[in-house]
């Protein structure tokens, strides 16, 4: 089968299109013919080697963290899926590889594709949908009437998180650029801060939760908008020791994570708020709940651009410009 491969960690290095063996199908696996794959900042970070400390992949590596496609074969112990099922997933972090014609995944990580979405639209959902779910529902335990700030509201995670937070009954603020104010308002944002013209730390106060997907400066500045007891949750780092323990990292690596997050944890403690890092995990059960939200119309997908599979490197380059509204997808079929 054809697949796009990372041969070595290299900043902005091109992926290599190569013929590789079909994946092994284990007893609890579904083998999926890839129809479309989402492209994410995570793919670039893996390619660049930013996560090699916490995700020690063996190279060469097939890249790709989002998929929609059709089941072509199932393992002997699979009970939830059958050949012909249209599915989507974020594969387990140890078994990524959606920039390929086929991928094998544990059935626990897979869900039936929303009936009202095309394959390309469905492929734009799993990683960002699960990230938003695990931050807002699992970690923040966001409740009706609470206030949440979602940074980068026009991005992949932001566009989904705004809608999920509104569904949960929260008041939602977001930061975005001038040209995207209309988009985030249409998704349900109650307060929109145009970062080109306003300082969100002077506009927002008393927030319960901040979802940060940006850099160190934004992370630290976000402490100012939280009320005592609030939660600063970052998906862009730095990783903390709880993440390291949950991921089964060695004791020395746990101490590295403790040091990496020491400064922001100390500053958060001074402000009387909590800091935590979330690295999204594959979860078919949660994805099924997201499917229900999409089919009911509570959440809609936002897709910026679709590239043919052969232009996967172009898709990566386009996403790296940081101007995409919603998700970028590569399409294998059609």
Closest C-alpha among 171, 221, 214, 216 to residue 198: 221
Closest C-alpha among 8, 331, 334, 320 to residue 155: 320
d(CA 333, CA 37): 11
The two tokens of residue 288 are 């099924």
Q: What is the DSSP string of 220-281?
A: HHGGGGEEEEEEEEESSS---HHHHHHTT--HHHHHHHHHHTHHHHHHHHHHT-EEEE----
Contact 161, 132 (CB under 8 A): yes
d(CA 47, CA 8): 8
- The terminus-to-terminus CA distance of the chain in angstroms comes to 17
The number of helices, as runs of H, and strands, as runs of E, in the chain is 12, 16
The pTM of this model reads 0.95
d(CA 209, CA 226): 7
pLDDT tens per residue across all 334 residues of the chain: 999 999 999 999 999 999 999 999 999 999 999 999 999 999 999 999 988 887 889 999 999 999 999 999 999 999 999 999 999 999 999 999 999 999 999 999 999 999 999 999 999 999 999 999 999 999 999 999 999 999 999 999 999 999 999 999 999 999 999 999 999 999 999 999 999 899 999 999 999 999 999 888 999 999 999 999 999 999 998 888 888 888 787 888 889 888 888 999 999 999 999 999 999 999 999 999 999 999 999 999 999 999 999 999 999 999 999 888 999 999 997 5
The two tokens of residue 92 are 């387990």
The burial class, CB within 10 Å (0-12 / 13-18 / 19+), for 252 is exposed
Enclosing H/E stretch for 157: helix 156-167
């Amino acid at each position: 089968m054809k697949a796009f491969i990372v041969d070595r960690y290299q900043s902005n290095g091109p992926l290599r299109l190569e013929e590789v063996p079909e994946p092994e199908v284990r007893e609890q696996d579904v083998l999926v013919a890839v129809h479309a794959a989402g492209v994410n900042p995570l793919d670039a970070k893996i390619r660049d080697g930013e996560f090699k400390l916490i995700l020690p992949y063996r190279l060469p590596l097939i890249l790709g963290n989002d998929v929609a496609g059709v089941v072509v074969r199932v393992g002997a112990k699979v009970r939830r899926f059958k050949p012909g099922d249209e599915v989507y997933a974020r594969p387990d972090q140890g078994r990524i590889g959606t920039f390929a014609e086929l991928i094998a995944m544990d059935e626990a990580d897979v869900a039936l594709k929303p009936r009202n979405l095309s394959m390309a639209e469905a492929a734009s959902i799993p990683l960002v949908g699960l990230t938003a779910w695990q931050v807002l529902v699992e970690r923040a335990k966001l409740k009706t009437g609470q206030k949440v700030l979602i940074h980068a509201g026009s991005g992949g995670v932001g566009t989904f998180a705004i809608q999920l937070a509104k569904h949960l009954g929260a008041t939602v603020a977001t930061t975005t650029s001038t040209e995207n104010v209309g988009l985030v308002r249409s998704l349900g944002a109650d307060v929109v801060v145009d970062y080109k013209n306003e300082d969100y730390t002077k506009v927002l106060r008393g927030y319960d939760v901040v979802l940060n997907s940006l850099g160190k400066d934004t992370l630290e500045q976000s402490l100012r908008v939280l009320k005592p007891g609030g939660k600063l949750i970052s998906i862009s780092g730095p990783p903390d020791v709880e993440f390291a323990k949950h991921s089964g990292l060695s004791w020395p690596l746990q101490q590295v994570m403790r040091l990496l997050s020491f400064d922001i944890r100390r500053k958060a403690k001074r402000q009387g708020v909590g800091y935590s890092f979330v690295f999204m995990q594959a979860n078919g059960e949660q994805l099924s709940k997201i499917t229900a939200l999409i089919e009911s119309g509570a959440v809609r997908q936002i897709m910026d651009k679709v590239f043919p599979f052969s232009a996967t490197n172009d898709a990566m380059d386009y996403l790296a410009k940081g101007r995409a509204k919603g998700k970028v997808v590569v399409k294998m079929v059609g």
